Amino acid sequence: MLSDRWAGSARGPVRPLLSAFRKVRRQLLFTVLACGVAFTAVSILQTPADVRAPAEVSTPADFNAPARAPRPAALPINVHDGDTIRIGTERIRLLGFDTPELGRNSRCAREAREAERARDFLRRSIDRARDVRIERDGTDRYGRTLARLYIDGTDAASLMIGSGYARAYWGGRRDGWC
């Protein structure tokens, strides 16, 4: 006969492993359940109240009412210089005209003064307008959007050139302002 030490040797060494496996399995199951409960609680708490609330029943009169789409809020237009504007992070080069360069890009004091006048005129024109429209037309080599700007139905190029703040320009070499 086998000694007591080796009795049940086929099952003897396996028992401690099964016990450890069951312990790990219980801990893992508890952890998964706890995470599931926590996730569900957080999901419920972060759901907007109007989604959790019961839906209102519409009356037949609601179906006959004309649809009113809210008017989108206009983004502010920042006039960088006489021929470049910004809307949010989008830089837009206005087509059809060229104005003097501002700041470091100006070649003389006269050009800098004229650039400020052109910028201020465009800014005032946009600020006073009831309707401002932009028609985008691709991008230039600097990544700016190319576009036409309409101020109360008038093309900004016509407005700027007609007022003496700009010259007609369609790309290529430009004449200096000094």
Q: Return all residues near 79 (Cβ < 8 A) that are at least 6 apart.
A: 85, 119, 122, 123, 126
Q: Tell me: do 92 and 157 sit in the same domain.
A: yes
Q: Tell me: do 34 and 90 sit in the same domain.
A: no
84 lies in some domain = yes
Q: What is the pLDDT along the chain (178 residues), one digit of tens a residue?
A: 444 554 545 555 656 666 777 787 888 777 877 777 776 766 666 655 444 444 444 444 444 545 444 444 567 888 989 899 999 999 999 999 999 988 888 789 898 999 999 999 999 999 999 999 999 999 999 999 999 999 999 999 999 999 999 999 888 788 888 8
Q: Tell me: do 124 and 87 sit in the same domain.
A: yes
Q: Residue 34 and residue 17: Cα distance in Å, rounded?
A: 26
Q: Tell me: do 45 and 120 sit in the same domain.
A: no
Q: Tell me: do 154 and 112 sit in the same domain.
A: yes
Calculate the alpha carbon distances from 65 to 59, 69, 84 in Å.
11, 12, 43
The count of domains in the chain is 2
How confident is the model at residue 104, as a pLDDT? Answer: 84
Q: What is the CATH number of the domain that holds 146?
A: 2.40.50.90
- Terminal alpha carbon distance of the chain: 116
68 lies in some domain = no
Q: Tell me: do 44 and 84 sit in the same domain.
A: no
57 lies in some domain = no
Domain that holds residue 145: 77-169
Q: Return all residues near 177 (Cβ < 8 A) that are at least 6 apart.
A: 100, 101, 106, 107, 108, 110, 111, 114, 115
CB count in 10 Å sphere of residue 132: 16
Q: Residue 172 and residue 98: Cα distance in Å, rounded?
A: 11
CB 52 within 8 A of CB 104: no
CB 166 within 8 A of CB 160: yes
How confident is the model at residue 53, as a pLDDT? Answer: 43
Residue 105 DSSP one-character state? G
